[in-house]
Each structure stands twice: as structure tokens, then as C-alpha cells.
Amino acid sequence: MDALLALDQGTSSSRAVVFGRDGRLLASAQRELPQHFPQPGWVEHDAEEIWTHQVECAREAVAKAGVKVAAIGITNQRETVVLWDRKTGKPLHKALVWQDRRTAAFCEQLKSQGLEPRVRELTGLVLDPYFSATKLRWLLDNVPGARERAARGELAFGTIDSWLLWKLTDDGKGGNVHATDASNASRTLIYDILRGDWSDELLAAFDIPRSLLPEVKPSAGVFGQATEFGVPIAGIAGDQQAALFGQAALRPGQAKNTYGTGCFLLMHTGTQARTSTQGLITTRAAQVDATAQYALEGSVFVGGAVVQWLRDGLRAIGGSGEVQALASSVPDAGGVVFVPAFAGLGAPYWRPDARGALLGLTRGTTQAHIARAALESIAFQSAAVLTAMNADVGASERLTELRVDGGASANDLLMQFQADLLGIPVLRPKVIETTALGAALLAGLGTGVYESAEQIGAIWQLDRAFEPRMSRDEAGARLAEWDRAVRQVLVD
């Protein structure tokens, strides 16, 4: 049986999933990943813990499935930075997570120097702490001896995919593979997405030695041999590009939204790198060969994480699965609007200084109203991104459906509200683990389990379509209410 193992290393958990050739989920294993917050706005992970959890999950999932896997695919939280010793394989510091805002002042400094237009031209990105380069620069400047050791070629940098690939290919003889794929490289602020290479100009601007960087390869193809599992690692893509692939959104104009810790709406634009005028970014999509593929993306920093906050911060629920019942216990949010800018606001606002707010509270407000407003905030933020995307592509290419995935897409209340706001069908597939599925499918392509990307389209199957029920007038009024709330947290 041509089973495929996907390693899905996310912000809040490390997972391993075994899929059959037909895309059927055979087995999975998961470990929750502790978050570290050493200062307000700082977010870190333990890279060694990520590796330990991920390999434990892989062993467990393969054992549960009771099959031999043909290949491994890796998908990962993007932009998160690891800096490690090439000889010992030990990280020099905890990983700096994509949500980390410690480099906000440095980004503003670079903007004041006029660097952002050139960054945008070369990378498709904006100057924001979200992306990797300023985090790497911080590590080089703040870990004792790091910059000097980097100059001597002793250190390696990578996003989480590169870190896992290095560890998986450790044969004890220095044969570790140091590589990444184009989708992850395109999130670093130092990769020229049109030329398909690291930019010496931007490396100089960020003062980052090229010797730190991994080799960039297509997303499908053999990267190396997994020493313990004895099979090739043949697919790598950042989590959102993997989800786009797993949703079989392979043609220009197809789009998906992943409801994870954050929300990430991507629209495939084929071989054309579309430049946004609406606060979105241009990124590399997963590519199966040497031909570059692109997507427009809008990133919401706090999506499903708002449910974790209800659980851990407010203690309004005992578990994340309880939020739908609590929110459904009231007919609406009672006028409450929740702007969950815990880590600033992402697209289309790009305001790292924004902070969260609960608006419209009255004496009659209950935890149920806040829970409903929290769920609605996920849909509101995603709707703002889709509105920007439609404005970018124009009326003739406006989205007519949205494919959804990620943990929160299982919430029927949220998906229906999303369809109501957008005024288009929201399509949930039978397999909502599309991030992991995308990595597995890329690995299958990379090893010949599948002959072409076209075979991927037949694997996608619809579970439920959420059709809009709300009138467009009412949806417009609700979106205007959201805009008013956002403006209040964006006051300079």
C-alpha cells in the first residue's frame, strides 16, 4: 500500500498523519506544544521539544496505521526561526515564533530608511515582525557570540521545515540535509520570489550571512532520506501553501481559508505574481517542479487562538470543543464586538501596535455573548481579507466560493456566519486535515505515487456546503459594525 506520512508541525501542536493513496486518513497522533511568553509581545517555542514531539508523533501514527509508508512530507508553521550549531545540532536559543513582535521597532526603523518598497518589490511581503529576517537578525545580535560564529560558517538558520529535515536526515556522520522549499523561503523577507534565489541585496540590508541559509528546492521531490524511517522525505511546503494544495486549489482563481491558530486566506494566481494594492502579500505557492507558482495571501494573526483565550484566559470554557454550544446558547452577540488584536492586526491592516478590545458591553453581557463575539471575530477578520482580495483581482475574477479547512472549520456556527458575511458558498471537504494532506500529496508526487498534480483534484471531496442565508443589507451592516470597532483600536 502506498501510504504517506505527513509531519504537520503547527503553532499549538505537533502532529503526524498517515494517509492512504486515496487521501483517506488512516491514523494520526498529536502533542500539544507549550508556548513561552518571556515578555509582552514575545512568543517562543522550544525547538528541541518540537523535534522530540514530532518524531514521537510520527512513530505513534505509523504504528497505529499498521502500514509501511512510502514517503514523508513536511508542513510547518511558517516564519518561525531556528538558529542552530551545525556540528552539534543544538539550537542556540528558543525558536522565535511568527507571532513574536519583538522586532517591531526595527521594522519601523527600516521603513523610515525607505527600504519597504524595495522589500515589497523583491519579496512580495511587507516589512513586519511577522516574517523571518528581522527575527534572525535579532538572534544574531542578541545571542552571545552568534554573529561571530555565523561569520565562521558554524551556524545554520532555518524555518521549522528545515529544522525537522536536518534532524530527520541525521545519520551520525554529518550527512544532515540543510534545505527548504520555495514556499517557506518566500516568507523570510530575504528571498527574491521572481528570480527564485536568496537576495544578496536584502541579506546586506538585514546584515545576514548567506552561509546561514538552506538550499531552496521545489516543494515536491526528494530532499533526503529519513534515517530512522528508511524512506525519502519528498515533499515540503509551508502550512498554508500545503493546505492550498491539499484543497486541490491548483488553478488561478481558486482559494481556501485555513482556520487554525490564525486564519490564512490564499488565492492561487498561477505563474503570475500579482501585486496587491489592498494590504495583501504575494507569496510562492507550492510548486511540483521548477516552474514558479504564486498566490495572494491575507494573514489573520488571531483566529482559533481566540478560542484558546476563552479557555485559558477567561476560563469561560473547559475545552475548545465547548465553544459552539456556549455561543449557540444566545441568538446573537448582544451588540458585543470583539477585536482580538492580541498580536497586532495582520492583513489588510498591518498594525503591529494594535491591541485587542471588547466593545458594546452592557450589564446584560454574558460569557455566551463574548464567546459568540469571539467566534464572529474570526469570520469578520477573514471577510476583511476576502474583500481586499476581491478588490485586488477585480470583478471578473471575484471569488465565487471559498474552500475551508483547519480545526475551527468543524464549527458549523462559524462556517455559516462566514458564508453569511461573504455572500458566497463556503465549502468544507470531507478531510479537513488539508494541511497535512497537502504535504502527503506533495511527497506522493515527489516519489511517483502520483503521476501528476491533476490526480490530486480527484481526491478532494465535499462534506458540506454552507450557503449564505443573511440578506446582503444585514451583512453590510454587520461588516460596517466591525469596521467601526477596528477603527477604535487603530487610533494613533
Sheet with 220-226: strands ordered across: 25-32, 13-19, 3-9, 69-76, 231-238, 220-226
Angstrom distance (rounded) from CA 173 to CA 253: 46
Cα angle, residue 122 at apex, residues 386 and 198 outer, rounded to 5°? 120
The type of residue at 33 is L
Q: What's this model's pTM, rounded to 2 decimal places?
A: 0.86
- Name the strand (E) or helix (H) holding 83: strand 82-85
Q: Which of residues 81 and 431 earns the better pLDDT score?
A: 81
- Name the strand (E) or helix (H) holding 139: helix 132-142
Q: Which of residues 233 and 277 earns the better pLDDT score?
A: 233
What pairs with residue 402 in β-bridges?
426
Do residues 227 and 169 lie in contact, with contact meaning Cβ atoms separated by under 8 Å?
yes
State the cell numbers at 73: 512530507
pLDDT of 346 > 70? The answer is yes
Place of cell 558554524: 154
Helix orientation angle between 104-112 and 116-123, rounded to the nearest 10 degrees: 100
Place of cell 530527520: 168
Angstrom distance (rounded) from CA 221 to CA 244: 18
pLDDT of 172 > 80? The answer is no
pLDDT of 395 > 70? The answer is no
For the ranges 195-199, 343-347, 385-389, which has the lowest average pLDDT? Answer: 343-347
Q: What is the pLDDT of residue 123?
A: 95
State the cell numbers at 169: 536526515
The type of residue at 83 is L
348 prior amide bond cis, ω within 30: yes
The three-state secondary structure class of 222 is strand
Which tens digits make up the pLDDT trace of 301-336? 887 788 887 888 778 777 767 887 888 888 988 899
The three-state secondary structure class of 230 is coil
* DSSP per-residue string spanning 245-309: HHTT--STT-EEEEESSSEEEEEEEET--PPPSSS-EEEEPP-SSSS--EEEEEEES-STHHHHH
State the cell numbers at 312: 485559558
Sheet with 426-429: strands ordered across: 281-284, 294-300, 263-270, 255-259, 402-405, 426-429, 462-466
Q: What is the pLDDT of residue 198?
A: 97
For the ranges 141-145, 147-151, 235-239, 250-254, which has the lowest average pLDDT? Answer: 250-254
Instruction: Give all domains of the chain, ordered by start, each with its CATH number.
Output: 3-240 (3.30.420.40)
Count other Cβ atoms within 10 Å, centred on residue 210.
Answer: 11
For the ranges 65-74, 208-217, 232-241, 363-372, which has the lowest average pLDDT? Answer: 363-372
The model's confidence at residue 241, banded by pLDDT at 50, 70 and 90, is: very high
Angstrom distance (rounded) from CA 319 to CA 321: 5
The type of residue at 32 is E
Angstrom distance (rounded) from CA 45 to CA 411: 28
CA dist 479 → 405, 419, 422, 448, 473 (Å): 23, 13, 10, 47, 10
For the ranges 81-85, 91-95, 399-403, which has the lowest average pLDDT? Answer: 399-403
The model's confidence at residue 447, banded by pLDDT at 50, 70 and 90, is: very high
The three-state secondary structure class of 349 is coil
The model's confidence at residue 396, banded by pLDDT at 50, 70 and 90, is: low
For the ranges 173-182, 236-245, 396-405, which has the lowest average pLDDT? Answer: 396-405
- 3-state DSSP of 457-486: HCCCCEEEEECCCCCHHHHHHHHHHHHHHH
Closest CA to 264 of 256, 276, 272, 274: 256
Closest CA to 119 of 314, 348, 282: 282
Q: How many residues appear in the chain? A: 492
Place of cell 498566490: 295
For the segment 244-267, the average pLDDT, to the nearest whole number, is 88
Q: What is the pLDDT of residue 314?
A: 75
What integer best gives the mean pLDDT of the chain?
A: 91
CA atoms within 13 A on the CB side of 57: 26
Strand boundaries in 142-248, DSSP class E? 155-158, 179-181, 191-192, 197-198, 215-217, 220-226, 231-238
Closest CA to 265 of 381, 434, 354, 121: 381
Q: How many helices (H) and strands (E) does the chain have?
A: 16, 23
Q: Which of residues 420 and 301 earns the better pLDDT score?
A: 420
Query: What is the share, in percent, of the chain residues with pLDDT greater than 90?
Result: 62
Q: What is the pLDDT of residue 326?
A: 85
